[in-house]
Amino acid sequence: MQFFSFWRSLASFRVRIALNLKGLAADVTAVDLDADMQRMEAYRKVNPQMVLPALIDGEGPPLFQSLAIIEYLNEVHPNPPLLPADPRGRARVRGLAQMVACEGHPLLTPRVRQYLEHELKLDADTRMAWSRHWIIETLKGLEGHLAGDTSTGKFCHGDAPTLADVCMVGHVTAAINTSCDLTPYPTVKRVFDTAMALPAFAKAHPLVQPDTPEAMRKK
Ligand SMILES: N[C@@H](CCC(=O)N[C@@H](CS)C(=O)NCC(=O)O)C(=O)O
């Protein structure tokens, strides 16, 4: 498998965790978002949407969109399962995952931040307020769902990691990076700490990737 990713990319973080949980190895091609490499011809051929991640499995065409890639991996390599066996459980896990991947994260991507800066001319403080606002809105929603539902266990759904945890940890990482206070979200924080203690999650963290800049690298 060939995995196109960037150390800081939260969508790549999701796929890295899924690969690790499944025990799958992939050759990593780093696409430097800071150098706008996602817009260059070489990567545009892989993913015309010009966003990360993408995954090539064997001879097949590139897979794109992190949730679709993870569901593909889960179908081709069913163990350990990243979705519950029951329809209601699957709907809940997908719902939690989509709160992050389809609602919160799209408002924080480089292309959105660049538009705020270069087209709308918002200053750095205002752009940070934008990011924090949408990060917190998602944290509130996650905490409400996790704290208020008996399906929440050690992880977002039950006592084993699912697609919901795979997505949620990236969001909490973004919250930490933007100095958001996690105190009002104790269930989110507890599940985040539990998940990040697993090697599959810890090894996928943005600060320990081969392309993580030395100055940023977690010691
Ligand atoms: N919904 C997409 C998100 C894709 C996305 O926005 N990826 C970011 C990195 S996390 C990216 O490559 N952004 C490039 C840009 O915004 O120009 C997924 O889950 O794969």
Mean pLDDT of 84-90: 98
Best residue among 51, 115, 171 to mutate for probing ligand 1's pocket (most ligand atoms within 8 Å of CB) is: 51
Tell me how far apart the alpha carbons of residues 69 and 163 are, in angstroms, rounded to a whole number.
11
Provide the percentage of residues in the chain whose pLDDT is more than 90: 97
The pLDDT value recorded for residue 124 is: 97
Question: Can you give the pLDDT at residue 205?
Answer: 98
CA distance 182 to 89: 26
What tokens were used for 137?
């809105």
* Mean pLDDT, the chain, integer: 97
pLDDT score recorded for residue 31: 98
* Closest-lying ligand 1 atom to the alpha carbon of residue 101: 19
The 10s digit of each residue's pLDDT in 183-194 is 999 999 999 999
CA of 161 to the centre of ligand 1 (A): 23
**For ligand 1, atom 17, which residue shows the shortest CA distance?**
111
Confidence band of 49 (pLDDT split at 50, 70, 90): very high
Whole-number pLDDT of residue 60: 87
Q: 144: how many CB neighbours lie within 10 A of its CB? A: 13
* DSSP one-letter code for 78: -
Question: Do 9 and 52 meet the contact criterion of CB atoms below 8 Å apart?
Answer: yes
How far does the centroid of ligand 1 lie from the alpha carbon of residue 109, in Å? 6
| Ligand 1 in reach of 63 Cβ (< 6 A) | no
Ligand 1 atom 14: residue of nearest CA = 51
Residue 172 confidence class, pLDDT cut points 50, 70, 90: very high
